[in-house]
Amino acid sequence: MRFFIGFMVAILFADKAAAVDSYADLVEQLMPSVVNISTEKETVADTDAAVDNLMLNPALQGREALGSGFFVREDGYILTNNHVIKGAKKINVITEENEIYAAKVIGIDTPSDLAVLKIDVVAEDGKTLKEVKPVVFGNADAARIGDKVLVFGNPYGLGVSVSQGIISAKSRDIGLGGQQYLQTDAAINRGNSGGPMFSLDGEVIGVNAALFASQGASGIGFALPSNVANWVANQLIESGKVRRGWLGFSVANGLDSYTGKAGFVITEIDESSTAYKEGMRVGEIITAYNDIPATDVAAFLSFTETMQPGESLRLKALSYGEEFRTVIKIQDMPADKLQDFTAQALKNSYQRSLGSEDGEVYYISEFKIAVKEADPRGLAIVKIDKTSPLSGKGIKIGDIILEADRADIYTAENLLDSIRNAVVSGGQQPISLLIQGTDNIFYSNVEPVSEND
């Protein structure tokens, strides 16, 4: 009996191992959906430099560039990366059977770096030219770190190829348009850009977007999640453009200094937005949206971005420690999408504090710190004394002081004014500072010291 049980367990494990020994059946099923994309371009766009450093260099002048794509509808619509076809004067699609079709651009979306192409699959006389097998989109949100994936593409122009790996991480920000990416160890090389990442269920969960590697060899790869890709593709097909929901304000992880509750602190707000007209202000803390706890900024931004303009968003928030609820209308995102000024200020401050001699340094004796003015606002900390009241509060060199007691800080004089205003009956009151850190924004109560301390 013991032998029989052990024998059965061995069979179960053997069957399980055999199930992943080969992906041949699945690859054979998926391969017809994937295409190679060949383009001829007139010029090299300098704005692609950031993408080129990560992934496919799509165009050397006068040369063909090769990328990847995949069918998303039976009538010949193909999804790929915008940087694969950007600036092309001619686009050809090569199928698994080495059939070549001229493609036209239906629409592009710069923020997601996606583009939709179309080939004619039906002739004018109604004769079918090409039987198309579209992919099935899966739910990238449901994917887990450690899940196996298959990555298809056209590496180095060799033709459609497949590699296998796992999802190494989710919600990676790699500096391309503010999007969040899936990270994988599957081999992604030059030419894979725009190709699909499949789950073992045969569903697309990502679109190959970028890689980090030495000399262009396989390394860490990134894919735009399928939920975003499918949403963008549908809009481009239907209208040729993407309508995004706009909150009218920027947020970052933060803490309410009055209650200690965590949430999203509003760091910038547009005065023309419905949120501002409903009374929301910089410094307030959002603790929940549509009954979802405010814990993941990336998830919040993705959620609101995909809302339709005109839809209502319910918010629960804190203002000076007092809880309130409000409803704001999602607006159309303006053409000149708002940039995250505080993130840019942080970037600039690190550049200044790590070697640049530009900009005047001010010493704030009450805090025992040295600061420089940051762009577009705030004071970048370039030195903190060991006896500074900021020590031990998680504040470090490179961080930016954005506010003091809810007053915006632009210059050292602004901060000194706030310190002077805190003087009550000959003593110093703690000052609430809004600090932009490396990956979050938080409040910290700091008590100034006298010059003799």
- Is 24 inside a domain boundary? no
- Is 2 inside a domain boundary? no
Q: Which of 332, 362, 394 is the last residue of a domain?
A: 332
One domain for residues 327 and 349 = no
Look up 113 and say whether it is catalytic. yes
Report d(CA 345, CA 376) in Å as an integer.
6
Q: Say if CB 26 and CB 203 are below 8 A apart.
A: no
One domain for residues 154 and 94 = yes
pTM score: 0.63
Look up 399 and say whether it is catalytic. no
One domain for residues 61 and 104 = yes
Report d(CA 7, CA 422) in Å as an integer.
78
One domain for residues 78 and 200 = yes
One domain for residues 61 and 170 = yes
One domain for residues 324 and 347 = no
Phi-psi region of 235 (alpha: psi -120 to 50; beta: other; left: phi over 0): alpha
Report d(CA 118, CA 68) in Å as an integer.
14
Sequence letter at residue 28: E
- Is 257 inside a domain boundary? yes
378 token code pair: 């705030």
Query: What CATH number has the domain bearing residue 437?
Result: 2.30.42.10
Residue-level pLDDT at 44: 44
Residue-level pLDDT at 135: 94
Catalytic residue among 38, 83, 218, 388: 83
Using CA of residue 423, residue 406, residue 412, residue 401, what is the dihedral sign? Answer: positive
Q: What is the separation of C-alpha 118 from the centre of its chain, rounded to a whole number of angstroms? A: 27
**In sequence order, which residues have a C-beta less than 8 Å from that of residue 181 and are 6 or more positions away?**
171, 172, 173, 174, 206, 209, 210, 222, 223, 224, 225
One domain for residues 186 and 55 = yes
Averages of pLDDT over runs of 10 residues in the chain (453 residues) are: 50 48 89 88 45 36 67 94 84 89 90 90 76 92 91 73 87 64 79 88 90 54 89 92 85 84 88 91 92 88 84 93 93 61 35 42 85 84 88 88 89 87 64 83 84 52
Query: What CATH number has the domain bearing residue 87?
Result: 2.40.10.120
One domain for residues 312 and 327 = yes
One domain for residues 186 and 259 = no
Q: Say if CB 81 and CB 91 are below 8 A apart.
A: no
One domain for residues 86 and 209 = yes
Q: Which of 303, 332, 361 is the last residue of a domain?
A: 332
- Is 22 inside a domain boundary? no
Q: What residues are paired with 172 via a beta bridge?
A: 181
- Is 225 inside a domain boundary? yes
Look up 408 and say whether it is catalytic. no
- Is 432 inside a domain boundary? yes
Catalytic residue among 113, 226, 250, 418: 113
One domain for residues 235 and 252 = no
Backbone angles phi, psi at 78, to 5 degrees: -130, 135
Q: What radius of gyration do the chain's Cα atoms show? A: 27
DSSP letter string, 12-71: HHHHHHHHTT--HHHHHHHGGGEEEEEEEESS--GGGHHHHTTS-----TTSEEEEEEEE
Residue-level pLDDT at 1: 52
Total domains in the fold of the chain: 3
Widest Cα–Cα separation across the chain? 92
Catalytic residue among 33, 161, 193, 218: 193
- Is 389 inside a domain boundary? yes
Q: Which of 305, 332, 359 is the last residue of a domain?
A: 332
- Is 21 inside a domain boundary? no
- Residue 262's alpha-carbon distances to 256, 283, 443, in angstroms, are 6, 13, 11
One domain for residues 399 and 296 = no
DSSP assignment letter at 346: H
Domain range holding 96? 33-239
DSSP letter string, 179-229: -EEEEE-S---TT-TT-EEEETTS-EEEEEEEEE-GGG-S-EEEEEEHHHH
Using CA of residue 402, residue 404, residue 405, residue 407, what is the dihedral sign? Answer: negative
